[in-house]
Structure 1
Amino acid sequence: MSYLSLAPFIRQRPWLHKALKPVANWYVNLAGYRQMGLRADDLIPEENDVVQQAIKRLPAQENYDRIFRMRRAVQLSLQHKLLPKNQWTKPEDDKPYLLPLIHEIEAEIKERHELDTIEVIKSH
């Protein structure tokens, strides 16, 4: 599930971050998910076992909010409408809530694999 990201590279260089910030904002607005009340982590495909486990680990309220956002977005899509501007997801509210859990589960899987494939060398 992990993917390569240039974000850490860009964040380490303030001049590059400042130059690319308007482009990033333009791209997010073009994507249109915030106009439907969604957050970026709502767009992660659920077909992966790791993502399924992460969703199961979400707190009950966060899971309920996620389902509500997704159902509302489907309804808006069927009606070919957008939310009123005061109900759009604000950039400060669009924080990752599922990605940290996904990274945690991937680390657990990697650690489990390393422990399962460990070789014990007997010393004489």
Structure 2
Amino acid sequence: MPYTARVGPKVASALGRWAYNMAGFNQYGLYRDDCLAEYGDVREAVRRLPEKLKDERNYRFIRALHLSATHTVLPKEQWTKYEDDVKYLEPYLKEVRREREEKNKWETTM
């Protein structure tokens, strides 16, 4: 029987926090959802965002582009924290994927 390690919530959280910080996008004030490639379902989910969320997303992008162009990052106290990261795109993305799956199901039954 192969050995399978059990990872407790604290270990998984510590590993997730470490990976989050190593990715580096948080140093520019970006959220995890800001880093999703904008193709297909993600593009449609972004299109469906309310204007306020779109404006906030655009502001984060402009700030990150400016920081990147000047070869700087935000001061550490302004970095996006693992605990504060908001998956703002997830509900819209789930809806888009559910609709696409339903559409595919209807197309295959006809």
TM (normalized to structure 2)? 0.85
1:45 and 2:43 equivalent?
no
Cα offset, 1:32, TM superposition: 1.2
Pick the aligned partner of 2:23 from 31, 35, 59. Answer: 31
Paired residues of 2:17 and 2:82 also in contact (CA < 8 A) = no
In the TM superposition, what are the counterparts of 1:29-108 in structure 2 within 5 Å?
29-46=21-38, 48-108=39-99
Aligned length: 105
1:4 aligns with: none
TM-align CA RMSD: 1.6
Give identity over the alignment, percent: 39
1:52 and 1:32 map into 2 onto residues whose CA distance is 23
Structure 2: gaps (5+ residues): 1-5
Shift of 1:16: 2.0
Moved over 4 A (4+): none
Report the Cα distance in structure 2 between the residues aligned to 1:64 and 1:78, rounded to whole angstroms.
21
**2:9 pairs with 1:20:** no
Larger Rg: 1
TM-score (norm 1): 0.76
Higher relative contact order (CA 8 A, sep 6+): 2
Cα separation, 1, equivalents of 2:42 and 2:15: 29
